[in-house]
With several copies, the nearest count.
Chain A
Amino acid sequence: MLNFIDTVGEAVAGIQDGSTVMIGGFGNAGQPFELIDALLDGGATDLTVVNNNAGQGDQGLALLIKEGRVRKMICSFPRQSDSWHFDAKYHAGEIELELVPQGNLAERIRAAGAGIGGFFTPTGYGTMLAEGKETRIIDGRGQVFETPIHADVALIKALKADGKGNLVYRKTARNFGPIMAAAAKHTIAQVSEIVPIGGLDPENIVTPGIYVNSIVKVA
């Protein structure tokens, strides 16, 4: 069921300790900062977080990590010039890291939403990121078996929602939003604008409302 919610605090209130939470965004583009801040305020802990990075600077996901609320990160690029909170936790052995090539991350998230039980991909074959994984040669190419990444909750940012929960995004802020919305049991979208049913062109919907559970407008 779709709900329009007044505040980000109410939107994330149901997130339980121990949840797997997908967070959209690549760099700042598409990051649902307000929802992440609300998650920080809400107190849920022991989280597994799926995001392309592992937090930057002193905001958002980086603070969630600093506060010890993230048990495990699943990401492709945790090391950045300003990822000091992750660095500290990692070196202290206080956070687990599952490092995933970015395309495998995207495809594994997509597989979860699409009901795929697992797939073979050439990405990573012959590298240390394939160690311990099933491999096979298909049409002459070495391939690695990868499994879907499901989540309890997805926090994403979109440009507009209509009254049916259909979403459209803006430029490269689209990134992980559509696939995370489909992979999570419960998807919470923060949007800049809510338009009436019929206010978005059916040809141009990027995320159909079937994938969206909660919508909150963020000014």
Chain B
Amino acid sequence: MSLQSTSLQTRDMPLGRDDLARLVARDIAPGSFVNLGIGQPTLVSNYLTEEQNITLHTENGMLGMGPEAKGDEIDEDLINAGKIPVTELPGASYFHHADSFAIMRGGHLDICVLGAFQVSATGDLANWHTGAPGAIPAVGGAMDLASGAKDVFVMMTLLTRDGASKLVEHCTYPLTGVGCVTRVYTDKAVFLTGPDGVIVRETFGCTLEELQELVPLPLQSAAAVGV
């Protein structure tokens, strides 16, 4: 494998959460319909531009979701999937839960962005359950998004607090979906996942060689494979 790391390194430093969210936002094609799940991925909404004309979907029954509600805008009947008060943009629509999940499950969303515990080389996703004994499992809409969206992007730190890679050959946590993740955005690199293995699109504050030291599966350089 040819590791052409210099051409991939786009930043001197690992990315913070906001920089990562900005990067994901920049990568979303104009006019897309997008679901940002709950937690960290919702930061992406802060960096979408008006020119991009992105329509945000929330699983609890809305297209055209606006930014988080502040002060007088707060309305208990208008919340997102994380149960945080949000606002409504012009051109929004409301629908019931079966219609909302039909949008997700029917393949109509262009992109969903999710957090993850682990992603495998072939795009398996584990993000709902640690599998720890006694842990109460809760899945919400994660499996529907994983299996339904045209593209599933993951946002996560590359390493656990213990320094283990979350990008793995095979997930050890219970799966959310099989072969569903197409891109993984981490603080140290952006990876493209799929049936042909893992391709590194760019690195942040490390060379490809250094990255390969951290990740226990073979990495290919985007420059080398011509992506």
Given a CB threshold of 8 Å, the question of whether A touches B is answered with: yes
How distant is B170 from chain A, measured CB to nearest CB, in Å? 12
Encoded as 1 (CB less than 8 Å from any B CB) or 0, chain A from 159 to 182 comes to 000111010011111111111001
Stretch of B16-24, B174-182, B199-207, B215-223 on the interface side = B174-182
Q: Do A102 and B147 have beta carbons less than 8 Å apart?
A: no
Given the complex of chains A and B, what is the CA–CA distance between A138 and B2 in angstroms? 39
Number of interface residues of B (CB under 8 A): 55
- B residues near A123, Cβ cutoff 8 Å: 105, 143-144, 147-148
A28 touches B101 (CB 8 A): no
Q: Would B148 and A26 count as touching, CB distance under 8 A?
A: no
Q: Which residues of B contact A69 (CB under 8 A)?
A: none
Residues of B within 8 A of A172 (CB): 58, 60-62, 77-79, 94
Least CB distance, B47 to chain A, in whole angstroms: 21
* Closest A residue by C-beta to B147: A122
Interface residue total, chain A, C-beta cutoff 8 A? 70
| Cβ–Cβ contact B138 & A99, under 8 A | yes
Once the chains bind, are B76 and A28 in contact (CB under 8 Å)?
yes
A-B contact pairs, 6 of them (CB 8 A): A26-B61, A97-B136, A107-B98, A115-B105, A124-B143, A208-B95
Tell me which of A8-16, A39-47, A58-66, A126-134 binds B: A126-134
CB pair B98–A209 under 8 Å, yes or no, is: no
Partner among B60, B94, B98, B177 whose Cβ is within 8 Å of the Cβ of A203: B94
Binding site for B on A (CB under 8 A): 1-2, 26-30, 76-80, 86-87, 90-91, 97, 99-107, 109-110, 112-116, 121-129, 142, 162-164, 166, 169-179, 182, 197-198, 200, 202-203, 205-206, 208-211
B6-14, B84-92, B111-119, B188-196 - the one binding chain A = B84-92
In the complex the two chains form, is A113's CB within 8 Å of B106's CB?
Answer: yes
B95 engages A174 (CB within 8 Å): yes
Of all chain B residues, which has the CB nearest A206? B96
Chain B positions near chain A (C-beta within 8 angstroms): 31, 33, 55, 57-64, 75-79, 83, 88, 90-98, 100-109, 129, 134, 136-144, 147-148, 174-178
Among B57, B100, B134, which residue has the most Cβ atoms of chain A within 10 A? B100
Most A CB within 10 A of own CB, among B58, B59, B75, B138: B138
Q: State the CA gap A128–B107 with chains docked (Å).
A: 23
Extra contacts besides A86-B136, A122-B147 (20): CB < 8 Å: A30-B77, A103-B148, A109-B98, A114-B106, A115-B105, A116-B105, A123-B143, A125-B147, A129-B139, A164-B64, A169-B94, A171-B94, A172-B77, A172-B78, A172-B94, A179-B98, A197-B90, A202-B92, A206-B96, A209-B55
Q: Are A29 and B76 in contact (CB under 8 A)?
A: yes
Given contacts A103-B105, A164-B91, contact A110 B98 (CB under 8 A): yes
The listed residue (A77, A109, A162) touching B139 by CB distance below 8 A is A77
Q: Which residue of B has the minimal Cβ distance to A109?
A: B98
Evaluate contact between A175 and B106: CB separation under 8 angstroms.
no
Task: Judge whether A77 and B140 touch: CB under 8 Å.
Answer: yes
Give every chain A residue within 8 A of B33 (Cβ-Cβ).
210
Find out whether the CB atom of B61 lies under 8 angstroms from the CB atom of A162: no
Q: In chain A, what residue has the closest Cβ to B104?
A: A103
Q: Closest residue to A164 on the B side, CB-wise? A: B91
Question: Smallest distance from the beta carbon of B179 to chain A beta carbons, Å?
Answer: 9
With a CB–CB cut-off of 8 A, which chain A residues contact B83? Answer: 26-28
